[in-house]
Amino acid sequence: MSGILYLVATPIGNYDDMTLRAVRILKEVDRVICEERREGIRLLRHFGIEKEIEELNEHNEREITPVLINSLKNGVTLALISDAGTPVFADPGFELVRLASNEGIRVVPIPGASSLLPALVASGFVIDRFVYQGFLSPKREERIRELQELKKERRAVVVMDTPYRLVQLLRDIAEVYGEERRVCVAFDLTMTSEKFYYGTATQIYKKLSTLNHKGEFVVVIEGVR
Which residue spans of the chain are classified as CATH 3.40.1010.10? 4-110
What is the fold of 116-221? 3.30.950
Query: Which pTM was predicted?
Result: 0.90
Total residue count of the chain as it appears in this document: 225
Positions of the chain with pLDDT under 70 = none
Q: What is the CATH number of domain 4-110?
A: 3.40.1010.10
Domain with CATH 3.30.950.10 in the chain: 116-221
pLDDT digits (tens, 9 = 90+) for 142-181: 999 999 999 999 999 999 998 889 999 999 999 999 998 9
Quick one: CA torsion of 30, 21, 92, 64, rounded to 10 degrees? 10
